[in-house]
Amino acid sequence: MVSRALVLLSLLGVCFAGTNSSVEDELYSASALSDIRADDAKPFQLEIDFRLQLNTSTDGHFTLKWVAKDRWSQLVTFADFRQLEVRKGENLYIVRNAPLTPLRVTELVGLLNVFPAKSGQWQIKNTHRQMLDSIAADCLKIKSRTRQHWNPDIEVCVDSASKDVLSDDHKDDDGLRREEFADYQPFGVHRYPRRLKLSRNGSVLVNAQVVSLEATSFDESLFAAPAGSIVRRQCENMAHPVAIRQPEPRYPTSAAQNRIGGLVIVSLTVQTDGSVSDVQYLERAGHEMDEVTKQIVETWKFKPAMCGSEPVASDIRVEMTFHP
């Protein structure tokens, strides 16, 4: 069997009393508490040291210089990899010294968002109280209202006293993916964790430590388009690509006979005509599962991402899980 997933890169009441609607509102308020990039935020610089689990553990550094949601710059470096992204208005400029952004880098950047949530996005399934590292936590099992096909079990836990998000668990065909946040510091009207960690099935993939988080100001020249950059248009309420032809890969005979499964993750670009290009491996499973995944994904057809009535190129990630 093969399953797939497309991945498009207030305070909580102590006992969660009240209607589902009020609990949802409290969840979004908890998310907003850690959102240092909210509309009311002032310019800041964030410096983070991190360790990624690649073939070996690799240390690196992340710098974010942020003015507004449409004006920021971020730099990721580790080993011999370097990637600079600059957002100015509706354009995102990307410069890197490799053909693709490593999966762990994408996961690191996602982890730094803590628990992003938009009003109306989540449906509360149930709630319960538990202890997390000696901290009383209120935990909510939630379900996305916007995802129809891939909808993993998700549980978010919040410190009952401080109202800080402590963990965000996703359970799907590949097991348990867990994000953890600790040692929060105040920053303006918000709070942000000093320690962040991502693990999958108990194995730590990303460990991040905030070195500094300071309000500051920047010269506008910082947000000039870098030479030789890839350009991706962004816009308010951008419509993400939607698959309209998405056949599954065949399960390789040798893997099926030996009851071998695995996870293949690829990145790809959906062009303005809905075709697929630049398929790159982010994670391999071997035993021909990689090859059949790449071959079938290249045949997929999408309704492209849209900025209003204009189609735009976009980059997405596809996860293909092979079950013996």
Q: How far is residue 108's CA from residue 112's CA, in Å, rounded to a whole number?
A: 6
Cβ neighbours for 274, distance < 8 A, ≥ 6 positions apart: 241, 244, 301, 302, 303, 304, 311
DSSP string, 297-323: HTT-EEEPEEETTEEE-EEEEEEEEE-
Per-residue model confidence as pLDDT tens digits over 144-199: 877 655 567 899 999 988 989 999 999 877 789 999 999 999 999 999 999 999 99
pLDDT at 123: 84
Which CATH architecture best describes the domain 235-322?
Answer: 2-Layer Sandwich (3.30)
pLDDT at 139: 92
pLDDT at 148: 58
Under a CB-based contact definition with an 8 Å cutoff, are residues 170 and 14 in contact? no
Please report the beta strands in 145-252, taking only residues with DSSP state E, as ranges in sequence order.
Answer: 153-159, 165-172, 175-187, 190-200, 203-215, 230-233, 242-245
- Cα torsion angle, 103, 108, 112, 114, sign: positive
Would the pLDDT of 295 be above 90?
Answer: yes
Under a CB-based contact definition with an 8 Å cutoff, are residues 2 and 179 in contact? no
Which CATH architecture best describes the domain 2-9+13-223?
Answer: Clam (2.50)
Quote the DSSP letter at residue 17: -
Strands 44-53, 203-215: pairing kind: antiparallel
Per-residue model confidence as pLDDT tens digits over 197-210: 999 999 999 999 99
Residue ranges covered by each domain of the chain: 2-9+13-223, 235-322
Per-residue model confidence as pLDDT tens digits over 93-132: 999 999 899 999 999 999 999 998 877 788 888 888 899 8
For 269, the enclosing helix (H) or strand (E) is strand 262-270
Cβ neighbours for 10, distance < 8 A, ≥ 6 positions apart: 25, 26, 28, 29, 30, 32
Confidence of residue 30 (pLDDT cuts 50, 70, 90): confident
Would the pLDDT of 318 be above 60?
Answer: yes
Helices (H) and strands (E) in the chain, counts: 4, 21
Q: How far is residue 253's CA from residue 74's CA, in Å, rounded to a whole number?
A: 44
Burial 213-232 (b: 16+ CB within 10 A, else e): beeeebeeeebeeeeebeeb
Asked if the domains at 2-9+13-223 and 235-322 fall in one CATH topology, the answer is: no
